[in-house]
Amino acid sequence: MTTARLIEGGARPAVRLERVLAHDPATVWSSLTEADQLKAWFPCTAEPVGGQWEVGAALTFRFPDDVGAMVIEGRVLIADAPRLLSYSWGEDVLTFELQPEGTGTRLVLTDELPPSWAARNAAGWELCLDRLAGLVPGEDAWRPRFELYSARFEPAIGAQEGPPSGAGD
């Protein structure tokens, strides 16, 4: 389990998660940017308009039908393969930093977000990073993580929202 940290002091709060992965940065980069690999761990598919993960490229994120078939738009902000990728994801800004660590990679994920989303996103990203690391989260894994983060984050940034409507846990 990864422990998310709340980062305050910027224009908006952020949650930061770190995970050491067994693969080298180039392989992890592919997991972040190649559609067939991304869908194995990320909550939705991501398609850059024009097919390239380059600064300024528009992104379309499509969630599966079981979470309401939502579509979110974004834009690539930084693309420096294989070490730094940042993009807007609806109201969030996601940044992935990849640093070699031994024969693997230290992945640092930072999600700048609306304050009331911090606990739900931290819990969700933990599950995503589990899948990226090749682990299979339990069916009910999100709820206890959300409750933990809600208790930690609420005193600093206020009440926390559960999953988006139609998303379930």
Q: Tell me the backbone φ, ψ of residue 15, rounded to 5 degrees.
A: -110, 140
Cα 73 to chain center, whole Å? 15
pTM of model > 0.85: yes
The residue-averaged pLDDT of 58-83 equals 87
Whole-number pLDDT of residue 135: 93
Is 97 among the domain residues?
A: yes
Q: Is residue 103 part of a domain?
A: yes
Among 15, 59, 69, CA closest to 35: 59
What is the per-residue pLDDT across 138-152, written as a single tens digit (0 to 9) for each? 888 999 999 999 999
Q: Does a structural domain hold residue 53?
A: yes
In a domain, 162, yes or no: no
Domain residue limits at 126: 5-157
pLDDT per position as a tens digit, 89-141? 999 999 999 999 999 999 999 999 999 999 999 999 999 999 999 999 888 89
Domain annotation covers residue 68: yes
Q: Considering its fold, how many domains does the chain have in total?
A: 1
Q: Is residue 36 part of a domain?
A: yes
Sign of the torsion formed by the C-alpha atoms of 19, 22, 24 and 29: negative
Q: Residue 70: give its domain's CATH number.
A: 3.30.530.20
| Residue 33 placed within a domain | yes
